[in-house]
């Protein structure tokens, strides 16, 4: 993990520095950082988990953010957890296998097995300890599918709260274009801003976090946001853009929930509960970027499918 303690104004107390120094900004982002500081903001080095060190695998390419790493240089769950675990002779990974439901013993108070389905065949796996770690939606679905006589509403659901108050960050992307400056950076995702995360000089209320994304390409996001533009025009925008991920906290609502349909399908109901604050953050981001020279913006609110975090 690379980072620089003390730069983020909202950073909590730390017991020690980051293990590795912050990834250095490339020239365009270095200039942008100084421009933002000149306007009274506090940009900081985004903590990044990549294997960039002497003998490391990372080459700081432009496909880091949003892509699997072909060099296994990102500190994700596959690299840091799954692959080291598979090096043990006591671990077996079963792919293309669905955990259908958890089975309890006669008392209904202990898990006795997991019914799984693989290649059309169903069978039961038994262990001393079971860990449900399928993410917010699929963990809920598994518990609800595991209903039995002792637990008619699903496991761990006597309160009716399993699957309720579903939350995910409210996310948007903002592509800011400055025709006067060309962005030649390759590894873009090294900068973040938390001036709006808590109340302060730039925001009366807490409204969220801003961080640069991996460099947007003309054939992808810009094509979706501006389909009427020619490829040359989209390439021009990509060359002159700074690309931002805008993230606000969600709030709980008992009607935002995960349920199962009568056919067993998974249904997710989510209505944004903090959208007004998120739109204030988008406007604040535009005003911040206008203050350092950006003139054209492409904005996109991410739909429910973007349910990370």
Q: In terms of domains, do 247 and 103 share one? A: no
Q: Could you give the maximum distance between any two Cα atoms of the chain, in Å? A: 72
Q: Note whether residue 306 is domain-resident.
A: no
Q: In terms of domains, do 141 and 267 share one? A: no
47 touches 19 (CB < 8 A): no
| pLDDT score of 293 | 95
- Dist CA 222 CA 232 (whole Å): 12
Q: To 10 degrees, the CA torsion angle through 141, 146, 148, 154?
A: -40
Give residue-wise pLDDT tens across range 9-21. Answer: 899 999 999 999 9
Q: Which domain holds residue 263?
A: 27-48+166-301
Give the pLDDT band of residue 221 (cuts 50, 70, 90).
low
Q: In terms of domains, do 140 and 232 share one? A: no
Mean pLDDT of the chain: 93
- Dist CA 279 CA 301 (whole Å): 9
Q: In terms of domains, do 31 and 112 share one? A: no
Q: In terms of domains, do 297 and 205 share one? A: yes
Strands 266-269 and 191-193, by their bridges, are unpaired
Q: Note whether residue 159 is domain-resident.
A: no
Q: In terms of domains, do 224 and 109 share one? A: no
Q: What is the DSSP string of 1-64?
A: -B--TT-STTPPP-SS--SBPPPPPPHHHHHHHHHHHHTT---EEPPB-B--STT-S----TT-
Q: Note whether residue 212 is domain-resident.
A: yes
Give the pLDDT band of residue 260 (cuts 50, 70, 90).
very high
| pLDDT score of 225 | 67
- Dist CA 156 CA 140 (whole Å): 10
Q: In terms of domains, do 135 and 273 share one? A: no
Average pLDDT over residues 259-288: 94
| Domain C-terminal end among 80, 110, 145 | 145
% of residues, the chain, pLDDT over 70: 98
- Dist CA 239 CA 182 (whole Å): 6
Q: What is the pTM of this model?
A: 0.89
- Dist CA 258 CA 64 (whole Å): 31
| Domain C-terminal end among 145, 180, 211 | 145
Q: In terms of domains, do 282 and 214 share one? A: yes
Q: Note whether residue 273 is domain-resident.
A: yes
- Dist CA 130 CA 300 (whole Å): 40
Q: Note whether residue 107 is domain-resident.
A: yes
Residues written for the chain:
309
Q: What is the DSSP string of 108-146?
A: SSSEEEEEEEETTEEEEE--S-----SHHHHHHHHHHHT
For residues 46 and 307, the model is more confident at 46
Q: Note whether residue 58 is domain-resident.
A: no
Give residue-wise pLDDT tens across range 153-211. Answer: 999 999 999 999 999 999 999 999 999 999 999 999 999 999 999 998 888 899 999 99
| Domain C-terminal end among 78, 112, 145 | 145
If one counts the domains in the chain, the total is 2
222 touches 298 (CB < 8 A): yes
Q: Note whether residue 161 is domain-resident.
A: no
Stretch (H or E) spanning 172: strand 170-177
| pLDDT score of 92 | 93
Q: In terms of domains, do 226 and 127 share one? A: no
Q: In terms of domains, do 122 and 175 share one? A: no
Average pLDDT over residues 67-71: 91
Q: In terms of domains, do 112 and 217 share one? A: no
% of residues, the chain, pLDDT over 90: 82
Q: In terms of domains, do 118 and 267 share one? A: no
- Dist CA 177 CA 273 (whole Å): 30
């Amino acid at each position: 993990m690379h980072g620089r303690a003390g730069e983020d104004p909202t950073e909590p107390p730390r017991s020690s520095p980051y293990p590795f120094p912050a990834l250095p900004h490339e020239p365009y982002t270095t200039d942008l950082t100084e421009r933002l500081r000149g306007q009274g903001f506090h940009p900081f080095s985004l903590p990044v988990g990549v294997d960039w060190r002497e003998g490391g695998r990372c080459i700081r390419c432009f496909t880091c953010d949003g892509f699997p790493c072909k060099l296994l240089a990102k500190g994700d769950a596959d690299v840091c957890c799954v692959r080291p675990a598979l090096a043990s002779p006591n671990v077996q990974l079963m792919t293309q296998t669905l955990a259908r439901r958890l089975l309890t013993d006669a008392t209904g108070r202990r898990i006795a097995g997991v019914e799984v389905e693989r290649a059309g065949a169903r069978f039961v796996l038994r262990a001393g300890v079971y860990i449900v770690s399928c993410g917010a939606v699929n963990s809920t679905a598994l518990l609800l599918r595991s209903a039995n006589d002792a637990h008619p509403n699903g496991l761990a659901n006597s309160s009716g709260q399993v699957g309720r108050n579903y939350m995910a960050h409210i996310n948007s992307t903002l592509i800011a274009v400055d025709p006067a400056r060309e962005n030649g950076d390759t590894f873009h995702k090294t900068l973040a801003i938390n001036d709006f995360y808590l109340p302060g000089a730039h925001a009366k209320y807490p409204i969220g976090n801003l961080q640069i994304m991996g460099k947007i390409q003309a054939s992808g996001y810009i094509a979706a946001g501006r389909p009427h533009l020619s490829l040359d025009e989209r390439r021009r925008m990509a060359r002159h853009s700074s690309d931002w991920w805008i993230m606000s906290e969600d709030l709980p609502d008992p009607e935002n929930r995960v349920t199962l349909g009568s056919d067993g399908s998974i249904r997710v109901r989510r209505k944004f509960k903090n959208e007004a604050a998120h739109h204030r953050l988008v406007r604040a981001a535009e005003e911040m970027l206008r203050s350092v020279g950006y003139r054209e913006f492409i904005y996109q609110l991410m739909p429910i499918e973007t349910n990370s975090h």
